[in-house]
Amino acid sequence: MDRPPAFGTFVAAASAAGRLVVQPRMGFGDPARMRDGLARTRAATARTAGTLTVDSYTRVGDLATARAAVADGTRLNGYPIAAHGPDTTRGVLDGLHGPDFPVQVRHGSARPEPIVRALAAAGLDATEGGPVSYCLPYGRTPLRDSVAAWARACELLATGARPGAVPHLESFGGCLLGQLCPPGLLVAMSVLECLFFTRYGLRSVSLSYAQQTDAGQDEEALRALHRLAGEFLPRDVDHHVVLYTYMGVYPRTEQGATRLLEASARLAVRSGAGRLIVKTAAEAHRIPTVEENVRALETAAAAAALAGPAAPGTGTGEDGEIYQEARTLVETVLGLHPDLSRALTAAFARGLLDVPFCLHPDNAGRSLGCIDSGGRLRWARTGAMPLRADAAAGAAPLTSSGLLGALNHVADRYDSPRRDDTGTEHGDGRHDRPPATPLPV
């Protein structure tokens, strides 16, 4: 190819043209199957980016088992980029990867250096994750070790790309455990991880946010994320916002799953996100096929095209609750130590950052969220975080039925007779939002 593809430039160009970039989660162990998945993603009726999702052995650093699986033809749940070798991966990408079709490596590793070395050797320079977001939810790697490993990985990515390339790193911080975490913490973590990336040499980043339980609250969160990125990231750093279609328990019906996907596409457009990571109608049942991924990409792109332009003032945001919570958390962490690596570990050690339902030993585990009667995520307990809990939310005890209700809240809503993004029903027209009860988380 004549010039290296720049992931951030591709997304910026699409945004300028009024196009939402849509991207699947897709990874196959067999190179031919992986290439076919990328080719069909590129050919979809949508503005797409490609994905190489890494297998579980590679994610946890068990490269010997990944290599053995490749050698004996064992089927893997993702692409073993460090086992196949750069020549094989270049063959997968040949004729597909380019300025009009960037490819990102997605993985889930708390120790990502082998993955970064492998992707750079194959000519790739876009990946995602983070020292907190790919540590706390996924295992028991000490946070201090993950932070150190991610610092080295950032430096490798920043220096290992081909001449003229602009490596890109996306924070997974806006997702954390996927659901039941009030948005202020998700926004703050995404900002903090992108700041971490820039401290170790990255000049192109994306800030993530996962669709939650209430469209209005999500839009407020995304506007806060835009604003805080503009306030805290260095001026010479290219950045955009990426939205994830809902990460929790997914609707069980095809109609419900499709409505939720379409709602996420409209939310992405309204909030000025540059990219959307999609989910398929098969999410509640099994790993989706390539065909189902392509269908999801095209469904999301069509919904985005019908949504109209982003609302004015996307990057400004109001001084609302989410903005204030996120800014408080970011400033608290930055005030702990000038070295952000040390500041992040200190923040979790003191409980100043505390992820609900996270069982990692380095997480305090004293925070708790809930879904209020209007469907918004609230803090029932904040532990030592410098945030205020909702007194009414904290009054209800945690029960197993309450937890199950909260986990299934979105799936049940979208599987019921059709509602729009705000919850208004379009079935028999007899009522709008149904009566709701607080769901303690």
CB-based contacts of 307, cutoff 8 Å, min separation 6 = 265, 266, 269, 270
The mean per-residue pLDDT over the stretch 25-46 comes to 97
**What tens digit of pLDDT does each residue of 212-239 get?**
999 999 999 999 999 999 999 999 999 9
Which residues pair with residue 51 across a beta bridge? 104
DSSP 8-state secondary structure symbol assigned to residue 334: H
Choices 3.20.20.240, 3.90.1150.10, 3.40.605.10, 3.20.20.70: CATH for 7-306? 3.20.20.240
Model confidence at 314, in pLDDT bands (50, 70, 90)?
A: low
Cα–Cα dist 173/128, whole Å: 10
**Given a cut of 60, is residue 428 above it in pLDDT?**
no
Model confidence at 395, in pLDDT bands (50, 70, 90)?
A: low
Cα–Cα dist 18/170, whole Å: 21
In this predicted model, which residue has the larger pLDDT, 171 or 288? 171
**Among the listed residues 11, 44, 9, 17, the one whose alpha carbon sits nearest the alpha carbon of residue 305:** 17
The SS3 call for residue 434 is: coil
Cα–Cα dist 141/311, whole Å: 42
Work out the number of other CB atoms within 10 angstroms of the CB of residue 278: 26
Type of residue found at 333: V
Q: Which long-range contacts (CB under 8 A, 24 or more apart) does 186-190 make?
A: 186/210, 186/212, 186/221, 187/221, 187/224, 187/225, 187/228, 187/322, 187/323, 187/325, 187/326, 188/228, 188/325, 188/326, 188/327, 188/329, 188/330, 188/333, 188/353, 189/130, 189/132, 189/133, 189/353, 190/225
**For strand 47-48 and strand 50-53, is the pairing parallel, antiparallel, or unpaired?**
unpaired
Which residues pair with residue 275 across a beta bridge? 21, 242
Cα–Cα dist 269/262, whole Å: 11
Model confidence at 322, in pLDDT bands (50, 70, 90)?
A: very high
CB-based contacts of 241, cutoff 8 Å, min separation 6 = 206, 207, 208, 209, 222, 225, 226, 229, 271, 272, 273, 274, 275
pLDDT of residue 313: 61
CB 165 within 8 A of CB 368: no
The mean per-residue pLDDT over the stretch 293-309 comes to 93
CB 22 within 8 A of CB 300: yes
Scanning 183-308, the segments in alpha helix (DSSP H) are 183-199, 215-232, 254-270, 290-306
**Given a cut of 80, is residue 309 above it in pLDDT?**
no
Cα–Cα dist 272/336, whole Å: 32
pLDDT of residue 4: 63
Cα–Cα dist 432/263, whole Å: 17
pLDDT of residue 323: 98
CB 135 within 8 A of CB 141: yes
**Given a cut of 60, is residue 39 above it in pLDDT?**
yes
Phi, psi torsion values for 152, nearest 5 degrees: -65, -40
Cα–Cα dist 171/162, whole Å: 22
CA 220 to centroid of chain Cα atoms: 17
CB 102 within 8 A of CB 49: yes
Q: Indicate if the alpha-carbon torsion angle 330, 178, 278, 110 is positive or negative.
A: positive
The mean per-residue pLDDT over the stretch 266-291 comes to 93
Work out the number of other CB atoms within 10 angstroms of the CB of residue 223: 25
Cα–Cα dist 9/95, whole Å: 20
